[in-house]
């Protein structure tokens, strides 16, 4: 045991000493060899040989000094190092001879490294990053599943019959309110709805932007404490107050981080809004990769919705919850189911609430069962990253509205 | 026979034995083995120095440059604690091995089978 331990310890020390002291060891070896030759010569002289003969004999006995040095260097582990240097020099010479091949090889390498890096950065943002809020592990995404459900886009009466079993993240606003109320003691349920295309006007600057319509408890539920000002309150929603919370980036870029940004007005898709707060630094909403610049209250007659919120047209309300201390997933799911199932009984069979991880926001939540839409999400995200925001069934531009309508809706067939 | 002319591992063992009584430089080690073996063994330089460097890397011995008896710089080797342990173990093994071989070789023809 002791021997084994010593072997490891002294083995490491020995390797480091010879590897780090490469040039010292080299010089030492030279000195050692010449000392050996000299000693041997003296020894031979003392046995009666002339100095010249002794020198000659000593050299002969010693043999090939260069080979000996090489063997010693091998033992120091230095041969590998000098081999690498030699190979690198050789490669460089070869490369400068075949410039075209080299250029092609370098280009291919650069492109593939670039591609790998960007794929990683997408995966990192979509799948790995946690939301920059305290205790993200307490967050859950709320999905629901059912069979024989019908999905209809609220803007063009397109009805899509879903397969035998489907999983969805969209809920109607009345259902959200019922869920929120039912598990008030165990979890804070909050809602959001992404508006991907809008225009913002701040002073002389006009730019395209993304909005998030949020329930009044969105920021407080996430524990995203505003950097300055305040978040939304129940009165903002009740009174449809034209208030907006801006992102930290917008505050820094267009207001130069001045505190008097609070109270100033900006235009979103043409309408005036008053800035009441600034989201915390680094917080970009709950859709990683889709940085949100403005948060608006999700109000009954929001111009960003096709129809009043309380009708059951709007099945695009996404919901999340934060478990309160001590609350269990199972317990919360039971409460949510109790509120949810009676409300959806006519629209789907075997409906059920599904709680999924929410630590990284919406795009990477993984439902415990059912269809994981990461492939679709990744492709969509890649389009967003490349700047080509294409309308799909989530984003539908409706010229009748001054704003943009979004989200598919699941509704009762009216006839 | 190993390439340096001694049974495998025995050169290392002899080197460790020689420097267990005090540090020696390369030439001194070779000379001492030569004398102690009644001039029967001669360590080739071509195998002595690579062996020394290997043992150094294994941490069995350590070398230090110091002036020798003729005032020239030489490397003096001494055992590390690992080397001491290794020497004890190897000499035990060697004794039992030599003993066993000796018994086989000295067996009388009658005692076979």
Q: What is the pLDDT of residues A146-178, one digit of tens each?
A: 887 776 556 555 555 666 777 888 888 889 999
Q: Say how many domains are in chain B.
A: 1
Distance from CA of B22 to the nearest CA of A (A): 18
Distance from CA of A95 to the nearest CA of B (A): 37
Q: How far is the C-alpha of A172 from the C-alpha of A307, rounded, in Å? A: 12
Q: Which of residues 62-91 of B touch A (CB under 8 A)?
A: 62-63, 65, 68, 70, 72-75, 80-82, 85-86, 89
| Residues linked to residue A321 through DSSP beta bridges, in sequence order | A140, A189
Sheet holding A150-153, edge to edge: A158-161, A150-153, A408-409
The predicted pLDDT at position A389 comes to 34
Q: Identify whether B1 is part of a domain.
A: no
Q: How confident is the model at residue A380 (pLDDT cuts 50, 70, 90)?
A: very low
Q: How far is the C-alpha of A328 from the C-alpha of A118, rounded, in Å? A: 38
For the segment A332-362, what is each residue's pLDDT rounded down to a tens digit? 999 999 999 998 887 788 889 989 888 888 7
C-alpha dihedral, A245 to A247 to A251 to A252, nearest 10°: 170
Which of A3-17, A70-84, A193-207, A242-256 bottoms out in mean pLDDT, i.e. has the lowest? Answer: A70-84
Q: Please indicate whether, in this complex, the C-beta atoms of A17 and B74 are within 8 angstroms of each other.
A: no
**Residue whose C-alpha is closest to residue A195's, from A179, A211, A177:** A211
The predicted pLDDT at position A402 comes to 30
Which of A265-269, A310-314, B25-29, B99-103 bottoms out in mean pLDDT, i.e. has the lowest? Answer: A310-314
DSSP A286: S
The predicted pLDDT at position A374 comes to 44
Mean pLDDT estimate for chain A: 80
Q: For the residues A198-217, what does the mean pLDDT come to?
A: 92
Q: For the residues A173-194, what does the mean pLDDT come to?
A: 93
**Residue whose C-alpha is closest to residue A30's, from B73, B15, B31, B100:** B73
Distance from CA of B59 to the nearest CA of A (A): 5
Chain B positions touching A72 (Cβ under 8 A) are 49-50, 53
Q: Does B5 touch chain A (CB under 8 A)?
A: no
Q: For the residues B39-52, what does the mean pLDDT come to?
A: 88
The predicted pLDDT at position A392 comes to 34
Helix (H) or strand (E) holding A33: helix A22-46
Q: How confident is the model at residue B45 (pLDDT cuts 50, 70, 90)?
A: confident
The predicted pLDDT at position A344 comes to 84
Which of A80-84, A99-103, A119-123, A239-243 bottoms out in mean pLDDT, i.e. has the lowest? Answer: A80-84
**Is residue B77 a contact partner of residue B24, using CB atoms and an 8 Å limit?**
yes
Residue with the larger pLDDT of the pair A85 and B29: B29
| Backbone dihedral region for residue A75 (phi beyond 0: left; psi -120 to 50: alpha; all else: beta) | alpha
Q: Identify whether B16 is part of a domain.
A: yes
Q: How far is the C-alpha of A395 from the C-alpha of A368, rounded, in Å? A: 27
Q: Identify whether B2 is part of a domain.
A: no
Q: Please indicate whether, in this complex, the C-beta atoms of B57 and A15 are within 8 angstroms of each other.
A: yes
For the segment A224-236, what is each residue's pLDDT rounded down to a tens digit? 999 999 999 999 8
Q: Identify whether B112 is part of a domain.
A: no
Q: Among A9, A36, A72, whose Cβ lies nearest the Cβ of B27?
A: A36
Chain B positions touching A34 (Cβ under 8 A) are 72
Q: For the residues B8-13, what does the mean pLDDT come to?
A: 88
Q: Please indicate whether, in this complex, the C-beta atoms of B45 and A62 are within 8 angstroms of each other.
A: yes
CA distances from A382 to A121, A130, A198 (A): 11, 19, 20
- Locate the domains of chain A by residue range: 14-97, 129-409
- Percent of chain A with pLDDT strictly greater than 90: 35
Q: Among B58, B75, B85, whose Cβ lies nearest the Cβ of A32?
A: B75
| Backbone dihedral region for residue A370 (phi beyond 0: left; psi -120 to 50: alpha; all else: beta) | left
Q: Does A9 touch chain B (CB under 8 A)?
A: yes
CA distances from A344 to A177, A187, A218, A224, A351 (A): 14, 21, 24, 32, 7
Q: How confident is the model at residue A293 (pLDDT cuts 50, 70, 90)?
A: very high
* Residue-number span of the structural domain to which B48 is assigned: 10-106
The predicted pLDDT at position A221 comes to 94
For the segment A236-292, what is each residue's pLDDT rounded down to a tens digit? 888 888 999 999 999 999 999 999 999 999 999 989 999 999 999 989 888 877 889
A304, pLDDT greater than 80 = yes
Domain containing residue B18: CATH number: 1.10.10.10
Q: Identify whether B79 is part of a domain.
A: yes
A141, pLDDT greater than 60 = yes
**Residue whose C-alpha is closest to residue A294's, from A315, A282, A307, A277:** A277
Q: For the residues A366-379, what does the mean pLDDT come to?
A: 45
Q: Does A79 touch chain B (CB under 8 A)?
A: no
DSSP A130: P
Q: Which of residues 31-50 of B touch A (CB under 8 A)?
A: 31, 44-46, 49-50
**Is residue B77 a contact partner of residue B16, using CB atoms and an 8 Å limit?**
no
Q: Identify whether B113 is part of a domain.
A: no
The predicted pLDDT at position A22 comes to 61
- Percent of chain B with pLDDT strictly greater than 90: 47
Helix (H) or strand (E) holding A383: helix A374-385
**Is residue B63 a contact partner of residue A28, using CB atoms and an 8 Å limit?**
yes
DSSP A355: E
Q: How far is the C-alpha of A345 from the C-alpha of A364, rounded, in Å? A: 29
Q: Please indicate whether, in this complex, the C-beta atoms of A3 and B89 are within 8 angstroms of each other.
A: yes
């Amino acid at each position: 045991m002791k021997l084994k331990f010593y072997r490891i310890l002294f083995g490491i020390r020995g390797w480091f000493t010879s590897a780090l002291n490469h040039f010292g060891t080299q010089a030492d070896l030279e000195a050692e060899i010449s000392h050996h030759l000299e000693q041997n010569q003296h020894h031979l002289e003392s046995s009666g040989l002339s100095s010249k003969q002794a020198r000659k004999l000593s050299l002969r006995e010693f043999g090939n000094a260069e080979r000996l040095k090489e063997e010693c260097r091998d033992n120091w582990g230095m041969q590998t190092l000098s081999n690498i240097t030699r190979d690198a020099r050789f490669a460089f010479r070869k490369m400068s001879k075949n410039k075209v091949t080299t250029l092609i090889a370098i280009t291919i390498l650069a492109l593939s490294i670039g591609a790998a890096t960007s794929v990683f950065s997408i995966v990192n943002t979509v799948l790995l990053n946690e939301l920059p809020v305290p205790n993200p592990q307490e967050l859950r995404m709320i999905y629901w599943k059912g069979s024989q459900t019908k999905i209809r886009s609220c803007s063009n009466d397109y009805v899509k019959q879903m397969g035998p079993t489907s999983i969805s993240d969209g809920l109607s606003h009345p259902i959200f309110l019922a869920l929120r109320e039912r598990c008030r003691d165990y979890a804070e349920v909050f809602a959001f709805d992404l508006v991907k295309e809008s225009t913002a006007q701040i002073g002389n600057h006009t730019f395209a932007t993304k909005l998030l319509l949020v329930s009044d408890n969105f920021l407080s539920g996430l524990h995203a404490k505003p950097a300055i000002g305040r978040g939304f309150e129940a009165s903002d929603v009740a009174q449809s107050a034209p208030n907006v919370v801006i992102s930290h980036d917008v505050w820094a870029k267009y207001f130069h981080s001045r505190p008097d940004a609070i109270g100033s007005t900006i235009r979103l898709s043409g309408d005036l809004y008053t800035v009441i707060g600034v989201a915390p630094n680094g917080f970009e909403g709950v859709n990683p990769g889709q940085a949100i610049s403005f948060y608006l209250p999700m109000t009954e007659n929001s111009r960003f919705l096709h129809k009043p919120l309380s009708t059951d047209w709007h099945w695009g309300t996404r919901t999340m919850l934060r478990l309160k201390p001590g609350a269990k997933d199972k317990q919360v799911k039971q409460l949510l189911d109790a509120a949810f199932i009676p409300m959806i009984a006519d629209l789907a069979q075997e409906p059920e609430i599904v709680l999924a991880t929410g630590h990284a926001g919406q795009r990477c939540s993984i439902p415990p069962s059912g269809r994981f839409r990461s492939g679709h999400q990744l492709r969509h995200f890649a389009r967003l990253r490349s700047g080509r925001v294409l309308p799909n069934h989530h984003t539908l531009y409706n010229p009748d509205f001054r704003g943009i309508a979004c989200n598919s809706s699941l509704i009762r067939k009216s006839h | 026979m190993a390439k340096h002319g001694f049974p495998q591992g025995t050169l290392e063992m002899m080197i460790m034995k020689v420097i267990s009584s005090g540090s020696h430089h390369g030439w001194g080690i070779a000379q001492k083995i030569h004398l102690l073996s009644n001039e029967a063994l001669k360590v080739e330089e071509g195998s002595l120095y690579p062996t020394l460097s290997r043992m150094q890397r294994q941490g069995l011995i350590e070398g230090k440059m110091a002036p020798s008896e003729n005032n020239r710089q030489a490397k003096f080797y001494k055992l590390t604690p690992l080397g001491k342990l290794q020497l004890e173990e190897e000499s035990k093994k060697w004794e039992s091995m030599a003993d066993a071989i000796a018994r086989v070789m000295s067996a009388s023809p009658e005692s076979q089978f």
